[in-house]
Amino acid sequence: MASILQASLAAFLLLPMVTAVHSDCIFKKEQAMCLEKIQRVNDLMGLNDSSPGCPGMWDNLTCWKPARVGEMVLVSCPELFRIFNPDQDMRVVSRNCTEDGWSEPFPHYVDACGFDEYESETGDQDYYYLSVKALYTVGYSTSLVTLTTAMVILCRFRKLHCTRNFIHMNLFVSFMLRAISVFIKDWILYAEQDSNHCFTSTVECKAIMVFFHYCVVSNYFWLFIEGLYLFTLLVETFFPERRYFYWYTIIGWGTPTVCVSVWAVLRFYLDNTGCWDMNDNTALWWVIKGPVVGSIMVNFVLFIGIIVILVQKLQSPDMGGNESSIYLRLARSTLLLIPLFGIHYTVFAFSPENVSKRERLVFELGLGSFQGFVVAVLYCFLNGEVQAEIKRKWRSWKVNRYFAVDFKHRHPSLASSGVNGGTQLSILSKSSSQIRMSGLPADNLAT
């Protein structure tokens, strides 16, 4: 269980998960190799179920070859225990073949290989990874609902259609795609919560992983586009937004397409194993991770540049205000930019992949899964233009509804004809305008 969830969670952080970490997959592969080895030995020695001695077996940890009565078989501790307990003094484990069958292992796996520590650590990992999975499931669900609502608002009101909001909308879509790809991946690949994924190698499975990586990389690049747009807006005096938006779209959606496509082709020809959810080849993984880390680094530089520009503008004599108010506005501006730029990703972006992995999962998934929710709230629901437009539409709806109800009470015969109040209002307004227009020539002629 722990290794399955660990493989799933590692993809969020763009970490290469080496095969050695997947304990379930290792045991599955060793079991398959053991059974094949036992079958070869049986065929070579002509052994069957009725043959004397002890048959070969897999005891869920190690492989025991067939033995004669009175023979002692020695095996080493599983390699997996050396990974989880590198400081443990590993010894050999033995079994005696008796007339009653195999004896108990001596010394026991607990004493020889530190199996007890491995079991306790695995149990802790199960609880930890399940907790992290529950955390990001709630986070992405919340983000998906708020982002969908924000998209409806920005698409519905035409007065909100501008380059800045178009970029916000593309960022919202990238967050939504990322959340959807996460749910699809978890549902398809890890729904059964067993080790079947170790040997899954279907086209559908690989396509899901390609789609998942594309959504994640696109999300990082649209965070980069947000930073680039704001920095360009502050630096350039004359800014052709529409022409720049064309290139922003190519960078935001086109660059991830190229990166993920190259990775998929290389993976198909050079490392076409499993479901492509485990990345043993670190060099291939950098085809995706390299552009993401580069976008994070450039975004952080843009963030620092924007803060410097804001400091200069806030300290300008034209701004007014005392020093405390200036720093307060600067702090507020900085806090608003952090989720928009994804600055929290820089905390672990350049750290070694095996350092503070647990803290890294909680920090990046805890903030990352709720990032879409925070961005939607800050840049849509709390946006002054959005609130003003919603209030204007609300007042307009209330006025129309008031006149519709009033018209219904004043003219019940017309209301009962099946035409609603809004239609009647439009008819009256058109009629009055036509009367005014027809009256103008008459007045002119009279004069």
| Region for residue 385 given its phi and psi (left: phi exceeds 0; alpha: psi -120 to 50; beta: otherwise) | alpha
Residues 244-256 pLDDT 10s: 888 999 999 999 9
Residues 42-87 pLDDT 10s: 888 887 777 788 888 988 888 888 888 889 998 888 776 666 555 5
d(CA 294, CA 259): 13
Alpha helices by DSSP H, 342-383: 357-376
> Is pLDDT at 357 greater than 80 in this prediction?
no
Residue 400 confidence (pLDDT):
77
d(CA 156, CA 145): 17
> Peptide bond preceding 107: is omega within 30 degrees of 0, i.e. cis?
yes
CB 179 within 8 A of CB 143: yes
What class, spelled out in words, does domain 23-113 have in CATH?
few secondary structures
d(CA 425, CA 399): 11
Q: How confident is residue 96, by pLDDT bands cut at 50, 70 and 90?
A: very high
d(CA 302, CA 341): 9
Identify the H or E element spanning 57: strand 57-58
d(CA 95, CA 64): 9
Residue 15 confidence (pLDDT):
46
State how far Cα 79 lies from the chain centre: 33
Whose CA is closest to 276, among 288, 258, 291, 293? Answer: 288
Please tell me which of 180-194, 313-327, 422-436 the model is most confident about, judged by mean pLDDT: 180-194
Q: How confident is residue 3, by pLDDT bands cut at 50, 70 and 90?
A: very low
Q: Which residues contact 81 (CB under 8 A, 6 or more apart)?
A: 88, 90, 113, 114, 115, 118
Residue 11 confidence (pLDDT):
54
> Peptide bond preceding 352: is omega within 30 degrees of 0, i.e. cis?
no
CB 90 within 8 A of CB 112: yes
d(CA 126, CA 367): 21
Listed by start position, the domains of the chain span: 23-113, 126-391
Q: Do domains 23-113 and 126-391 have the same CATH topology?
A: no
Handedness of CA 175, 306, 382, 248 (dihedral sign): negative
> Is pLDDT at 293 greater than 80 in this prediction?
yes
Residue 76 confidence (pLDDT):
84
Cα radius of gyration rounded to whole Å, the chain = 33
CB 78 within 8 A of CB 30: yes
SS3 277: coil
What class, spelled out in words, does domain 126-391 have in CATH?
mainly alpha
Q: Which residues contact 413 (CB under 8 A, 6 or more apart)?
A: none
- Average model confidence (pLDDT) for the chain? 76
Query: Of the ranges 31-45, 70-84, 108-122, which one carries the lowest mean pLDDT score?
Result: 108-122
Residue 167 confidence (pLDDT):
92
Residues 212-238 pLDDT 10s: 999 999 999 999 998 888 888 888 766
